[in-house]
Amino acid sequence: MAGSLRDAIAVLHLAPIQPPRGADRFGALVALAAASGRGERLASALDAEGLLAPDALATAALEEVVDSLRDARIEAAPKLVRLIQRLAGWYRDHRDDLEFEPGPGEDRPAFPHDDLRAINGVGRATADAIALCVFGEPVYPVDRASYRIMVRHGWIDPTADYDEASQAMVAAADGDAGILSALADAFEEIGRRYCKATGPRCERCPLRSLLPEGGPIEPDV
C-alpha cells in the first residue's frame, strides 16, 4: 500500500530546523542566494570587506563587490552579484519588519512575499526558499526533485501545478515551518542521490516502502 506525505515525514525522522533570528537573517539570505555550496564563504568574504549589511551591499558599485569577492578567491558572475544587491535593497526596504522579534502576545508583521517575488531573477521556488529557510514562513519551495518524488509516490497528480504541490507539503507538515525546512533539505538530498531525473534508484531510498503498488509513477518532466 502506498504511503502518504505524512508517512514520509515520519519515516525520515525529521527534526525541525529553526531559522536565523534578527539581523542574522541578512547573512543567511545572502548565503542562500549565492547557493552552489559557496554561500557561507561568499557571505563571510563580504562581511570581511564591510559589505554584509543591507545598505552597504545594495548601494555598492558592482565592480567593488566583484573585486572584493575575487580577492577572497571567489569568482562571482556579475549577474549573481546584481541579484544579491537587489535582494539587499529589498531587505533594506523591509528591514524593520524582517528583523522584528515578537514578544508575548505579539505577531510578526506580514511577510512581504509579493515584493520578493517581484525582484528580477527571483522565481517562485527561490522566493519560497528564502521565505521558509531564512524567515521561517510556512511555505514550501517546490523544486524539480520535490516534484519528482511527490509524483513518483503518487502524492500529487502529474498535472499538479506549483501551488498544488506546495500546499500538499504544507498540509502534510501541518504548517510547521521547521518541519517544512527539514523536509526541503531531505527531499533535495533524496532527489540528488536516489530520485534522479534520469530515473529512480529505489533500492536504498529511505522512501522506498511508501511507493505505490506497481512501483514509481513517472512524471512528465
Residue 1 is predicted with a pLDDT of 43
- The beta-strand segments (E) located in 3-114 are none
How do residues 101-140 score in pLDDT, each as one tens digit?
Answer: 888 888 889 999 999 999 999 999 999 999 999 999 999 9
The sign one gets for the Cα dihedral 118, 124, 125, 129 is: positive
The pTM score is 0.91
Q: Three-state SS for 199?
A: strand
164-204 pLDDT tens trace: 999 999 999 999 999 999 999 999 999 999 999 999 999 99
Q: Which H or E run contains 195? A: strand 195-196
